A and B are shown apart, each in its own frame.
Chain A
Amino acid sequence: MKEAPLLKVVNISKAFGGVQAVLNVSLTLEKGDILGIIGPNGSGKTTLANLITGFVRPNRGTVLFKGHNITRTPPHKIANLGLTRTFQVMRPYNSLSAYKNLIVPLKSPRVRQTRGGKLGDTDAVALDILEEIGFERDARVPYKIAGSLPLGYLKRLELGRCFALDPEVIICDEIFSGLSMSEITSMIPLMERLQIEGVTLIMIEHRLRELFRLANRVIVMNFGQKIAEGIAQEVMEDPKVKKAYLGRERS
């Protein structure tokens, strides 16, 4: 018998007042996948991420993670189960230094459980994670106040916060947006290594070329609905997708 998928979303819907942000979206995620979610602005990608991680409660539908129904579970409990996310608008703790930003997730119940209480020196663990996400190039950066760091570092810090939780699934909400080409190229190996380590990724992206290098499956959304799903190149040939991106059908 086939094992239950890691994450299963069934017919999830959410309306904000009269705006149907997400309508009847279903998806499944197997361990080790990198699933891309693309779509024009306002198509409900971030709301979908919010629904899965519990930040927004759905009107209808269910979310199953490792067989548990997490539809109405509060976000911090979902994070403790190993399903974590980055934010599109970065949310660092502006008044704390970069490495102190990572101490906060290291104090979560999940870390206490997975690392068996023998965490040792949390400062050292935090500095290890910073090295992993590429903060080691400038020795002073970890001690700078997060509010003063440039965009590229903040994006990495968002990832670092997820790493600290030792997660099974990371939902990356536009982690490449606003970064320069060289910053993106330096981040792609990080993503690839995550996949090798067995972390499953959902990537919400506008940078299609970079996404297609990573993702083995893509979902296209438009006006809150899933309009296509499949392998990247095939999906882009779909006439509905072309219409959503280009506005009209080409003959």
Chain B
Amino acid sequence: MVDETRRKKRLDRSIKVRTEGLYAISSGAEMFYLILPRAALIVGLLALPLFLDMYWQKVLCAAGVYALLSLGFDFLAEYVGLVCLGGAFFIGTGGYISGLLNSYFGWSGLLCIPIATLGGAIFSTLVFIPALRLRGIYFAIISFMFPIFARDIITTLNIFGGTEGISALGTLPNVWTEIYLILLAVIIALFAIRRLVNEDIGLILRGIKDNDQAVKASGISITSYKIKAMFIASLLGSFGGAYLSHKYGWVGISLFAMDFSILPIAASVMGGMGSLAGPVLGAFALTPLSEALRGFGQLRVVIYCFILIGFIVYKPEGLLIYFQRKYHQFELWEKV
């Protein structure tokens, strides 16, 4: 029941106001206020594996890969205006390049992953270039097709091991390298992209999202900037794919699975679109959840949907923005 005699009023906390601009360095309290959420994220992520058993550590690694994908998805969708459903393509190309290098040349995983990250990103970007002239839903549909094409090409031509995939790849030295490699990658990627969107290139990308015609009229080639953005996002995905291939010691067509394209959307909605840290948070919440619901089998998707719908209806802003508001503002009831 809605009480019509009073309403909720939100006000910024005074410390929030004080930490804007130069005053942020005026005292320890202000600096602590600014550093706390960032430090909580970093320390929280890095300390988390110490409290988990082996099974959940593996889940955490998978969540890290999804976090990278969600970060890339959010960056492309909210800062460039490209709704990219081709996350699985990045994972697949990164994974296959790393797997092939490892099995043909016998290079170690730690050498293959950087090469595959770069190579996969270049390859994915080249493949996506023809689609970049499209916008909105049209780009989304085309990008969704790429992983499906790739999977079908591999199975029908029976290349790269066909449906069997390539197994017996070199794995990473030990479980701690596995965990901290992906967690550090997530943290570095998150802060790098947050920095990037506030630089000049980020400004131009946001301009393209708001109004690509005006960017053209300003003498800036929108295609070249879209290519750069695509490269950055596919860099994250390809790293995730290369990492997965060495974590499992196997690459196969399941790297092109639809999960990699779809879960980032759910994670972004849950975490808060456009907040960058939100989708990362969303991925770290959703992946364990889907593991916990493994017992339900196919019914999992239904539960997923309910969670998504619940967020869209009751908390459309997403988790991160909700927490942010609680942190920065206080609420009071006032009489109407």
CA distance in complex: A169, B99 (Å): 55
Q: Name the interface residues of A104-124: CB closer than 8 Å to any CB of B.
A: 104-105, 107-111
Q: Across the interface, do A93 and B211 meet the contact criterion of CB distance under 8 Å?
A: yes
Q: Select one of A84, A93, A105, A162 contacting B210, CB under 8 A.
A: A93
Q: Decide yes or no whether A100 CB sits under 8 A from chain B.
A: yes
Q: Select one of A76, A92, A93 contacting B206, CB under 8 A.
A: A93
* Contact partners of A77 in chain B: CB under 8 A: 219, 221
Q: Decide yes or no whether A11 CB sits under 8 A from chain B.
A: no
* Contact partners of A100 in chain B: CB under 8 A: 203
**Given A96-B203, A100-B203, A104-B204, A110 contacting B210 (CB threshold 8 A):** no
Q: Name the interface residues of B198-233: CB closer than 8 Å to any CB of A.
A: 200, 203-204, 206-207, 209-211, 213-222
Minimal Cβ-Cβ distance residue in B for A75: B216
CA distance in complex: A75, B200 (Å): 21
The distance from the CB of A141 to the nearest CB of chain B, in whole angstroms, is 18
CA distance in complex: A104, B215 (Å): 7
* Contact partners of B207 in chain A: CB under 8 A: 93, 96, 101, 104
* Contact partners of A75 in chain B: CB under 8 A: 216-217
Q: Across the interface, do A104 and B217 meet the contact criterion of CB distance under 8 Å?
A: no
Q: Across the interface, do A92 and B211 meet the contact criterion of CB distance under 8 Å?
A: yes
* Contact partners of B222 in chain A: CB under 8 A: 76
* Contact partners of B210 in chain A: CB under 8 A: 92-96
* Contact partners of A74 in chain B: CB under 8 A: 216, 221
* Contact partners of A96 in chain B: CB under 8 A: 203, 206-207, 210
Q: Across the interface, do A76 and B213 meet the contact criterion of CB distance under 8 Å?
A: no
Q: Decide yes or no whether A60 CB sits under 8 A from chain B.
A: no
Q: Across the interface, do B221 and A85 meet the contact criterion of CB distance under 8 Å?
A: no
CA distance in complex: A73, B217 (Å): 13
Interface size class of B (residues with CB under 8 A): 10 to 19
**Given A87-B213, A91-B211, A107-B200, A161 contacting B206 (CB threshold 8 A):** no
CA distance in complex: A25, B315 (Å): 56
* Contact partners of B217 in chain A: CB under 8 A: 53, 75-76, 79, 84-85, 87, 91, 161-162
Q: Decide yes or no whether A164 CB sits under 8 A from chain B.
A: yes
The distance from the CB of A12 to the nearest CB of chain B, in whole angstroms, is 19
Q: Decide yes or no whether A212 CB sits under 8 A from chain B.
A: no
Q: Across the interface, do B206 and A105 meet the contact criterion of CB distance under 8 Å?
A: no
Contact flags B171-214 to A (C-beta < 8 A → 1, else 0): 00000000000000000000000000000100110110111011
Q: Across the interface, do B213 and A55 meet the contact criterion of CB distance under 8 Å?
A: yes
Q: Across the interface, do B218 and A165 meet the contact criterion of CB distance under 8 Å?
A: yes
* Contact partners of A165 in chain B: CB under 8 A: 218-219
The distance from the CB of A11 to the nearest CB of chain B, in whole angstroms, is 25
Q: Decide yes or no whether A103 CB sits under 8 A from chain B.
A: yes
Q: Decide yes or no whether A26 CB sits under 8 A from chain B.
A: no
Contact flags A20-47 to B (C-beta < 8 A → 1, else 0): 0000000000000000000000000000
| 14 A-B contact pairs sorted by A residue (CB < 8 Å) | A53-B217, A76-B217, A76-B222, A79-B217, A84-B217, A84-B218, A87-B217, A93-B206, A93-B210, A100-B203, A103-B200, A107-B204, A107-B220, A110-B219
Residues of chain B whose beta carbon lies under 8 Å from any beta carbon of chain A: 200, 203-204, 206-207, 209-211, 213-222
Given contacts A75-B216, A79-B217, A104-B204, 5 further A-B contacts (CB under 8 A): A92-B214, A95-B206, A104-B203, A108-B219, A161-B218
Which 3 pairs, one residue from A and one from B, show the smallest C-beta to C-beta distance?
Answer: A79-B219, A108-B219, A105-B218
